[in-house]
Structure 1
Amino acid sequence: MSENTGTEPGTEPGTDPGTEPGTDPGCEPGPEPAIPRGAGAAADLTVVVPAYNEEHRLRPTLEAIRAHLRADPERWGDWELIVVDDGSTDGTAAVAAEAAAAEPRIHILTSAGNRGKGHALRLGVLASYGRRVLVTDADLATPIEELDALDELLTYGDGDGDGDCDGDGDCDTYEGEGATYDGDTYEGHDDTYDDMYDDAPAPAAVIGSRALPDSRIDIHQRPLRERLGRLGNRLIRLVAVRGIRDTQCGFKLFDGDKARAAFAASRLDGWGIDVEILRHFRRAGWPVAEVPVRWSHQSGSKVRPADYGRVLLELLRLRTRTRPVDLAVAGLFLLASVLLYRGLWADLDRAYLADSMQDQNQWEWFFAVTADNVAHLRNPLFTTYQGYPDGVNLMANTVMLGLSVPLTPVTLLFGPTVTWALVLTLGLTATAVAWYWLFVRWVTRLRPAAALGAALAAFAPPMMSHGTAHPNFLVLFMIPVIIDRALRLRAPGAGGRRLVRDGVLLGLFAAYQIFLGEEPLLLAAMGTLIFALSYALARPDVARVALRPLLRGLGVALAVCLPLVAFPLYWQFFGPQSYHSVLHGDNAGNSPLAFLEFSGRALLGDETRADPLAMNRTEQNAFYGWPLTALTFGLVVWLGRSPLVKALTGTVLLAALLSLGQQIRIPFTDVVLPGPWRALAHQPLFESVIESRVAMICAPALGVLIALAVARIADLEPLTHRVVGLVVVVAALLPIVPTPQPVRERAEVPRFITEGMYRDFVAEGESVVPVPLPSPADADALHWQSATGFGFSVPGGYFNGPWGEERMGIYGAAPRYTSNLLRDVRYGGRIPDIGTSWRAQAKLDLAFWKAGVVVLAPQDNDEALYEVMTELLGRPGERMGGAWVWDMPRAR
């Protein structure tokens, strides 16, 4: 996923996807270059010297640099020397002014105050005009003569054109005798490379190193200080820039244009600037060489061992710092999420999401039972509180252990409804922020464009449909993170330690996502594969380069992920109460009309039009609306030359086609065509997928397309074109803006349960039998348990479990005669003739359920249910705690 605003669609191979030359992802542009007095329009070399209170050391430094550059005018050509006075309080400015008066090629920049080395270097480099830029410290601890070696090396590459000068696939570090390129040694500082390197790419930066074998330390620091410095440097290398042995040596020669780009994108003002610039070069795919130099400790040095710690703190702040606009976008996403669920938050005790059917009861039960298992150190993969006595394989159900386990304290302290509301609200926010972060990193750095695309990816109609009942399909914040890590594997330069690191992280992220939701991960993998194949067709050259590191990285990821999830997956597929598939019928696909219609909860939606086109309101998996569909077609025509847009188009079309299911019914006709989902419908893993959900893949793909389009529109001229373009995009998205989720008042838990009266009737090993038994159609009894702390088990329930000898997956417990009878009476109201066989069967079923007490709470058709239970048990019930109860004999 690589597209950058302001560039032609489809970056050339060898550039870092999502990274334009001269920028660093996530960094604010730096200040505009200041033009030093007397500077020409161009120079062959610029030397930048930052200085703070260097009155006594600056003069000999400037004289040495000036003498060295003037001694060989043919080599150095037109040069300039920029001194940046970083708010000195001594005579530094006067010394610099005196030198500038004697040499017109010396220029002075003055900072308003002491801002730090990073700020001073940024001012100096951005004011430079040199084709090459050397930065050196004011004490000239590395003699200026070492410039010769750095300059010579900056001219040559490694001979194979791969930009990986040491073969490790990480930072391009040159090591050994003088320096080595792929094993070929450059002997000494004054020699030249063989002709074999004439056509090799040159490094973009050459840095002096005190850590290479042939480095020479003329004057050492005190031993303790030197050891502390080495330790600090190792920590910096470990945390920030692996592969470069000495990041903090102040003697560095850069390609001028790339240096100005990197410093313009930098943000640090302190000592950490060296690491920040090197990281920028690495991310941009610009080779960095490291060569040995002479170095001498200078008395009065301002660098202390503790400064290495400050560098680490700066880097930590750099990694965690966000722009104000990023915080604003996250805040807007949070506000939108809160508004969507405001009805739920307004009354957590009684509010129930109206469109969730029985899923809110189920999910609250999942959160509560996980918390109870964790609190009592029980197996979190199994329980008998539901589906008694067989129990429930929790790993084979969507309990989201990745959230329900860490949120156990919240559930125990505040109840499962609070956990449910938090997961929906914060999970949706986190998902939107994650898509925004991914789009900024890989699609466009225009924040409003990325935010709009992320909003579509996270708040699209299918997501909002699942937001009523299925948090495992709403809370997808790990999916963008996984996609990002996969893209890093195929990025140029991925190899060696970096490839292993990214592969390990990808494996860990995938393992965690399995404990959030396996089906979303499967759909994300499908979408990513479709996108990758589509992109490979558009850019086979890029695909060939990316394939090998991608496969190697995926191998590492599998090696990390599989051991972590092996036992839970074994339990899921082969443990107690496991099943092998769930059938959803032949009509689980989308209607083609569903893509053109608005969902019932969209701003311009109509329930009467939307409901007939979906299985139910929790499965409105298309409903992108005809305006967005039309806009998508127009954008594809407009931006269709871009390989990225071609890949997105292929992804959307194929995902939409697959989502139509095994049979595609042509609207307004009797024609039924076979659908491509037939090839997958009975394959392992896919056999349990509701095929209409494949259309959810379209949401992030359309989000990327919208982000690209808005970024491109922002560059249009004149202003009227930009305004018209944005109005068109807004007009297409406005009809599908989600409206707040409606709520209803949930049924009260009988006092017989809340006041613990049931305890007098239920012995250990017995169950409470609600009438009718809890099922996917009526799971209020699960709320009885989750709201009161799981003091009893219930037969039946709302979960996925096995049925029959083939262990086919069904919703709820395996039906029995009595449970079917009570269900039919509850929803039909008709009372059958209860004879001896019905009573005998009820006795068997109650014995199987190990019933301690039968409870009939107030509900529709409760009079008919009471009459049936009285006939089945041969005695009337007792009114107690707001419910009818029948005490069951313990002797069986």
Structure 2
Amino acid sequence: MGGPTGKHARVSGGGPGAPEGRDGADAETVGRTVPTVTLSVVVPAYNEEARLRPTLDAVRAHLGADPGRWGEWELIVVDDGSSDGTVAIAEAVAAEEPRVRVVRSPGNHGKGHALRLGVLASYGRRVLLTDADLATPIEELDRLDKQLNEQLGGRDGERDAEQHTGDGPDDGPGAAIGSRAHPDARIEVRQWALREWLGRLGNRLIQAVAVDGIADTQCGFKLFDGAQARAAFAASRLDGWGIDVEILRYFRRAGWPVTEVPVRWAHQPGSKVRPLDYGRVLLELVRLKAGRSRSARWARRAPGLRPVDLTVTVLFVLAALVLYKGLWNDLGHSYLADSGSDQNQWEWFFAVTADNVRHLHNPLFTTFQNFPDGVNLMANTVMLGLSVPLTPVTLAFGPTVTWAVVLTFGLAATATAWYWLFARWLVRNRWAAALGAALAAFAPPMMSHANAHPNFLVLFMIPVIIDRALRLCEAGAGPGGEAGAGGENGAPNRVARDGVLLGLFMTYQIFLGEEPLLLAVMGMLLFALAYAFQRRDVAKASIRPLLRGLGYALQVCLPLLAFPLYWQFFGPQSYHSVLHGDNAGNSPLSFLHFSGRALFGTEAAADPLAMNRTEQNAFYGWPLIALSVGLGVWLWRLAVVRALAFTAVVAALLSLGPKVRIPFTDVVLTGPWRILAHQPLFESVIESRVAMICAPALGALLALAADRLGDVEVVPGRTERLVGLMALAAALIPIIPTPMPVRERPDVPAFIADGTYRSYVSPGESVVPVPLPDSGEAEALHWQSASGLGFSVPGGYFNGPWGPDRMGIYGASPRFTSNWLREVRNTGQVPPIGPGQQAQARFDLAFWKAGVVVLAPQPNDAALYETVEKLLGEPGRRVDGVWIWDLPASGAASASRPSGGS
């Protein structure tokens, strides 16, 4: 990704090594140079029809007279909205000389604006600025160039070209500026006396306000280190005459040397500089200083924040609150309708973590579920990174409040993190960044998981990890990702710091969700490979600091994660991989349809194309897909767009699974996921989720498009901008998420809520719900979390091992009694029960160390009652709204294994 860019302009003509489609201030080119271009000459021009041709001819003649010295050069003419024949003259010269390029601004914005466009469009290792009237003859370039060579330690031009490529700002040569105030300067044609006096007065005032020690800031003849000039002009804000002072002040603050060099100068008739312009410069500087003071005040309040940042964050929070308004309206009785048993499971996760923290128990294991074997919490998605710090909330207000807080504010935090990443690395326009972030965080796949899977919704660390990886790459590259800004050796401390932070961030993400991190790494690798293939120079400069940083990250991660990961993969109740079946890939049609939670979508249309309503992992909708293709074609010249397109397309193809059925046919093809399907780590991934990688990729593409549509110099026509914005709206409005539906949650039976169960359960015994909780129905977990985890239950909804190969399954290993009770609840039919079945039930109850069997009101509860009564050989008792069977400890524990049963 490139950094914030300058304003855009139309460019004609070519230059040595110019990449295809280069734009005057493109995110791919700001601050970047091609080492073969030795010198760029930038000439701003506004209504210079009478003087431009002789100036261009003189510059070409001087540079061409000594090819060995100047090597490859380019001459950039920047037209600042001229109304005469300036452009025609410049383009005629460009037609004669391929090293001449014309940059056109759509309007007259001032000399500063024109210089910014020209410098940001340049490639030169050095950049010369000269006025169109050549008041300072081009031959004076030799003096300025000699001064820069001396600042490099006396190295000659050839050695300088070898050792200082100018690919990124460093502590190199700085600037040599022409000075008419130097004692050795030669003024060949003077201005009027009053004009000279006003000029000297203006210069003194400018020195006092901004750049003390520079006698002549306004001479238009200046030679800069190329990379430093591009960095300074990219950060500039002034469009008028004051840009000279702004740039020199930038150099001073960066510690780059600025030397005045005496030059010959002759006043030219028709000069556009007026004595009062010095006053305008002072006004610009005062306004610039005032604006920075306001920014500084904001920075003191909140580092790096702007008012728009706070506004965007508040909007994201409000959007999340609207989505979950049904849950917040009645936290005691509202249940997310499409969450299946997941809300019960997650509330239980939050409750058991808080209980472990409060009692200083091992947070990686519990026996409250799957009693007596227990549950390996590290091998489940308990999100210790949030459930542990939110323990006070859980203990004070209950796990349902924690559940609502995590979903709502985690979603808003994720959107804000994407916004911050896009604003920092991708676009200048903050609202464009907000639009892209909204798609990345609120895309249809994310909203599907918003029903039940906070580990796939709360992803605020992923943008933070991407940012730190980009910072490591930037240690070997300049602003915007260009190669050579100091390199690895220039910032070893920074590489170490960023590597350590990356290790800490990845460690924290492990405790938020491992599968989302794996998918994020997949997306980052796809993007990096595609970008590196196109920009080998950037890849070459970035690879060493990135690898070093990753080395530091591993040194941080491994000690912190060694024990938790050992526990996850080798501890009690660990497993090897999770079975998801052969139908876990996306249908190609799902990318074109709308999800059930989209404004234009329906569950009836979406359900047949997804595993369930929490796994609608594509469903971007045909308008967004069509728009993305169009935006890709429009912005294809940008390497970042090509990399984003590659990432999205490959992720979409992988998400189709190992077998891809061609819609409306019986043709089944082998999908690319087959290569990864049985590899370690990937074998537990639900492959349709890989399509979630497309969300931030499409969000970044949308941000880039909105950023350019908002720039009148990229899309100057009002009609074109309006059409573009309408296209964005047409693609996004259909997939706007609707509020999450809720249903009434069953009350916890009074037998549990009032604590009556305690009279029937001794220490070391469990409460056996009928049927046992599993992934299909886990209301018993709600009983536990709502009553303070006062008892354990067999069975449950978790990931655990099954069989001799310890294959991962959802829930406990099935047993005779749990299977029978589940079957009766589903069918309402009571199976034949004889002595063998009764003996098996007694054996299972003894294994579960059952203290009491509890049957709460539910569908088919009459058939369940009859089944339990026959299995236990005695009627139940009605206590506090439930049927119970009290099992004396001696009776349950003394049962022997039956010879029959299954």
TM-score greater than 0.5 by the shorter chain: yes
Q: Is 1:378 aligned to residue 361 of structure 2?
A: yes
For the residues of structure 1 that align with 2:29 and 2:311, how far apart are their CA atoms? Answer: 23
User: In 2 relative to 1, CA 642–357 (structure 1 residues): closer, same or farther, beyond 3 Å?
Assistant: same
CA RMSD of aligned residues (A): 3.6
For the residues of structure 1 that align with 2:670 and 2:703, how far apart are their CA atoms? Answer: 35
Match of 1:136 in 2: none
For residues 19-74 of structure 1, give each alpha carbon's deviation from its aligned partner in whole angstroms, at most 9, with x where no partner exists.
9569xxxxxxxxxxxxxxxxxxxxxxxxxxxxxxxxxxxxxxxxxxxxxxxxxxxx
For the residues of structure 2 that align with 1:260 and 1:487, how far apart are their CA atoms? Answer: 23
Match of 2:386 in 1: 403
Larger deviation: 565-574 or 537-546? 537-546
For residues 240-299 of structure 1, give each alpha carbon's deviation from its aligned partner in whole angstroms, at most 9, with x where no partner exists.
xxxxxxxxx99899978866765649xxxxxxx99x968995xxxxx84799xxxxxxxx
Equivalent residues of 2:587, 2:656 under 8 A apart:
yes
Match of 1:658 in 2: 654
Match of 2:745 in 1: 746
Equivalent residues of 1:395, 1:571 under 8 A apart:
yes
Match of 1:89 in 2: none
Match of 2:564 in 1: 568
For the residues of structure 2 that align with 1:672 and 1:711, how far apart are their CA atoms? Answer: 41
Report the Cα offset of residue 544 of structure 1.
2.4
Larger deviation: 481-490 or 494-503? 494-503
Q: Is 1:668 aligned to residue 664 of structure 2?
A: yes
User: In 2 relative to 1, CA 10–755 (structure 1 residues): closer, same or farther, beyond 3 Å?
Assistant: farther
For the residues of structure 1 that align with 2:689 and 2:253, how far apart are their CA atoms? Answer: 40
Report the Cα offset of residue 537 of structure 1.
2.4
For the residues of structure 2 that align with 1:16 and 1:580, how far apart are their CA atoms? Answer: 48
For residues 514-571 of structure 1, give each alpha carbon's deviation from its aligned partner in whole angstroms, at most 9, with x where no partner exists.
0000000000000111111111222233222222222222222122112111110010
For the residues of structure 2 that align with 1:693 and 1:410, how far apart are their CA atoms? Answer: 31
For the residues of structure 2 that align with 1:154 and 1:530, how far apart are their CA atoms? Answer: 46
Equivalent residues of 2:3, 2:424 under 8 A apart:
no
For residue 854 of structure 1, give the secondary structure of its aligned residue in structure 2.
strand
For the residues of structure 1 that align with 2:698 and 2:770, how far apart are their CA atoms? Answer: 47
Q: Is 1:535 aligned to residue 535 of structure 2?
A: no
Q: How does 1:98-113 map to 2 (within 5 A)?
A: none
For the residues of structure 2 that align with 1:558 and 1:418, how far apart are their CA atoms? Answer: 36
Match of 2:553 in 1: 557
For residue 320 of structure 1, give the secondary structure of its aligned residue in structure 2.
coil
Correspondence for 1:602 among 571, 581, 598: 598
Report the Cα offset of residue 196 of structure 1.
6.5
Match of 1:881 in 2: 880
Report the Cα offset of residue 676 of structure 1.
0.8
| Corresponding pairs, count | 673
Q: Which amino acid aligns with 1:329?
A: V
Equivalent residues of 1:663, 1:672 under 8 A apart:
yes
Report the Cα offset of residue 711 of structure 1.
1.4
For the residues of structure 2 that align with 1:426 and 1:768, how far apart are their CA atoms? Answer: 35
Correspondence for 1:334 among 317, 324, 340: 317
For residue 677 of structure 1, give the secondary structure of its aligned residue in structure 2.
helix
For residues 300-357 of structure 1, give each alpha carbon's deviation from its aligned partner in whole angstroms, at most 9, with x where no partner exists.
xxxxxxxxxx9xx989728624111111111111111000000000000000000000
Report the Cα offset of residue 443 of structure 1.
1.0
What's the TM-score, normalizing by structure 1?
0.70
User: In 2 relative to 1, CA 261–692 (structure 1 residues): closer, same or farther, beyond 3 Å?
Assistant: closer
User: In 2 relative to 1, CA 623–207 (structure 1 residues): closer, same or farther, beyond 3 Å?
Assistant: closer
Larger deviation: 249-258 or 474-483? 249-258
For the residues of structure 1 that align with 2:659 and 2:461, how far apart are their CA atoms? Answer: 33
Match of 2:787 in 1: 788
Equivalent residues of 2:28, 2:640 under 8 A apart:
no
Match of 1:710 in 2: 706
Q: Which amino acid aligns with 1:814?
A: S
For the residues of structure 2 that align with 1:519 and 1:661, how far apart are their CA atoms? Answer: 16
For the residues of structure 1 that align with 2:687 and 2:615, how far apart are their CA atoms? Answer: 11
For residues 51-101 of structure 1, give each alpha carbon's deviation from its aligned partner in whole angstroms, at most 9, with x where no partner exists.
xxxxxxxxxxxxxxxxxxxxxxxxxxxxxxxxxxxxxxxxxxxxxxxxxxx
For residue 564 of structure 2, give the secondary structure of its aligned residue in structure 1.
helix
Larger deviation: 196-205 or 752-761? 196-205
Q: How does 1:779-858 map to 2 (within 5 A)?
A: 779-858=778-857
User: In 2 relative to 1, CA 833–730 (structure 1 residues): closer, same or farther, beyond 3 Å?
Assistant: same
User: In 2 relative to 1, CA 10–328 (structure 1 residues): closer, same or farther, beyond 3 Å?
Assistant: farther
Correspondence for 1:360 among 328, 335, 343: 343
Match of 1:545 in 2: 541
Equivalent residues of 2:773, 2:779 under 8 A apart:
yes
For the residues of structure 2 that align with 1:206 and 1:543, how far apart are their CA atoms? Answer: 23
Equivalent residues of 1:262, 1:280 under 8 A apart:
no
For residue 883 of structure 2, give the secondary structure of its aligned residue in structure 1.
strand
Match of 1:472 in 2: 455
Unpaired stretches in structure 1, ≥5 consecutive residues: 23-125, 134-150, 159-178, 187-191, 209-248, 266-272, 282-286, 292-309
User: In 2 relative to 1, CA 479–10 (structure 1 residues): closer, same or farther, beyond 3 Å?
Assistant: farther
Match of 2:519 in 1: 523
Equivalent residues of 1:2, 1:11 under 8 A apart:
no
User: In 2 relative to 1, CA 795–731 (structure 1 residues): closer, same or farther, beyond 3 Å?
Assistant: same
Q: Is 1:759 aligned to residue 758 of structure 2?
A: yes
Q: Is 1:442 aligned to residue 425 of structure 2?
A: yes
What's the TM-score, normalizing by structure 2?
0.70
Equivalent residues of 2:28, 2:638 under 8 A apart:
no
For residues 627-675 of structure 1, give each alpha carbon's deviation from its aligned partner in whole angstroms, at most 9, with x where no partner exists.
1111111112211122111111111111000000010001111111111
For residues 672-714 of structure 1, give each alpha carbon's deviation from its aligned partner in whole angstroms, at most 9, with x where no partner exists.
1111111101100000000000000000000011111111222
Equivalent residues of 2:824, 2:863 under 8 A apart:
yes
Q: Which amino acid aligns with 1:700?
A: P
Equivalent residues of 1:424, 1:471 under 8 A apart:
yes
Match of 2:610 in 1: 614
For the residues of structure 2 that align with 1:692 and 1:864, how far apart are their CA atoms? Answer: 39
Equivalent residues of 2:149, 2:155 under 8 A apart:
no
For the residues of structure 2 that align with 1:436 and 1:259, how far apart are their CA atoms? Answer: 25
User: In 2 relative to 1, CA 257–520 (structure 1 residues): closer, same or farther, beyond 3 Å?
Assistant: closer
Match of 1:229 in 2: none
Match of 1:117 in 2: none
Report the Cα offset of residue 770 of structure 1.
0.4
For residue 798 of structure 1, give the secondary structure of its aligned residue in structure 2.
coil
For the residues of structure 2 that align with 1:863 and 1:154, how far apart are their CA atoms? Answer: 99
Q: Which amino acid aligns with 1:846?
A: L
For the residues of structure 2 that align with 1:19 and 1:767, how far apart are their CA atoms? Answer: 67
Larger deviation: 386-395 or 710-719? 710-719
For the residues of structure 2 that align with 1:815 and 1:617, how far apart are their CA atoms? Answer: 26
Equivalent residues of 2:252, 2:258 under 8 A apart:
no
Q: Which amino acid aligns with 1:766?
A: E
Match of 1:696 in 2: 692
Match of 2:645 in 1: 649
For residue 852 of structure 2, give the secondary structure of its aligned residue in structure 1.
strand
User: In 2 relative to 1, CA 822–645 (structure 1 residues): closer, same or farther, beyond 3 Å?
Assistant: same
Q: How does 1:416-455 map to 2 (within 5 A)?
A: 416-455=399-438
For residues 845-880 of structure 1, give each alpha carbon's deviation from its aligned partner in whole angstroms, at most 9, with x where no partner exists.
000000001110110011110111111111111111
For residue 763 of structure 1, give the secondary structure of its aligned residue in structure 2.
coil
Equivalent residues of 1:489, 1:550 under 8 A apart:
yes
Equivalent residues of 1:411, 1:419 under 8 A apart:
yes
For residue 703 of structure 2, give the secondary structure of its aligned residue in structure 1.
helix
User: In 2 relative to 1, CA 289–357 (structure 1 residues): closer, same or farther, beyond 3 Å?
Assistant: farther
Report the Cα offset of residue 206 of structure 1.
7.2
For the residues of structure 2 that align with 1:397 and 1:12, how far apart are their CA atoms? Answer: 49
Equivalent residues of 1:449, 1:711 under 8 A apart:
yes
Equivalent residues of 1:156, 1:201 under 8 A apart:
no
Equivalent residues of 1:432, 1:454 under 8 A apart:
yes
Q: Which amino acid aligns with 1:389?
A: P
Report the Cα offset of residue 401 of structure 1.
0.3
For the residues of structure 2 that align with 1:862 and 1:690, how far apart are their CA atoms? Answer: 35
Equivalent residues of 1:384, 1:390 under 8 A apart:
yes
